[in-house]
Structure 1
């Protein structure tokens, strides 16, 4: 649970900055965090673990989604998807959202 909060903290520190004020390192950090979230959601489920019923009926994918929700990452994704000045992240956000709804 600490990792999504750390990622969220890094992104929220950078997101209020106007895109003209961001350094190239800031832009790379945002992109890498979005790619990391996308890659984590892209990991296929382990059938052996899914059959054991770990943590009730919640799958690993559902637990990752819950951790992202608790950390506030979903709110930041909504902001990135809707803000006109953040259009450069639209494809990454679209990929993340589509993976969030995978197998639903």
Structure 2
């Protein structure tokens, strides 16, 4: 189940439970990656972006929130780990969107 700090806690489970858990975790990871991709894909709103010159754009604030949450480290791990190649396309899309308009 989920640990006290929000991460997955390892618990003794039958092999069937473990397979089910792995499938659930895979779906959860995919949904999180798709959510991040979709949030980054939202085009800038010209009205919202007309702040004071020093204001960070909404896109930049989202990037900062991803950084503070550790999502950038997770993306680097998913991009570099041989065992996580199934996420490569999602990670590539997210990284591409992170650098949009830079």
Q: What TM-score do you get using the length of structure 1 for normalisation? A: 0.76
CA contact (8 A) 1:41 1:96 kept: yes
CA contact (8 A) 1:80 1:86 kept: yes
- Kindly tell me the number of residue pairs found equivalent between the two proteins: 99
Q: Which stretches of structure 1, 4 residues or more, deviate above 6 A after TM superposition?
A: 3-6, 9-21
Higher helix share: 1
C-alpha separation between the residues in 2 aligned to 1:65 and 1:90?
19
Distance 1:70 1:40, change over 3 A: same
C-alpha separation between the residues in 2 aligned to 1:56 and 1:14?
53
Task: Please list the CA deviations of residues 8-28 of structure 1 after superposition, one character each: whole Å capped at 9, or x if unmatched.
Answer: x89999999999895211100
Runs (5+) with no aligned partner, structure 2: none
User: After alignment, is 66-75 or 53-62 more displaced?
Assistant: 53-62
Q: What TM-score do you get using the length of structure 2 for normalisation? A: 0.78
Deviation at 1:76, TM superposition (A): 0.5
Distance 1:77 1:45, change over 3 A: same
Deviation at 1:87, TM superposition (A): 0.1
C-alpha separation between the residues in 1 aligned to 2:4 and 2:64?
10
When the two chains are superposed, the root-mean-square deviation of aligned CA atoms in Å is 5.5
Q: Compare relative contact order (CA 8 Å, sep 6+) and give the higher one, 1 or 2.
A: 1
CA contact (8 A) 1:4 1:71 kept: no
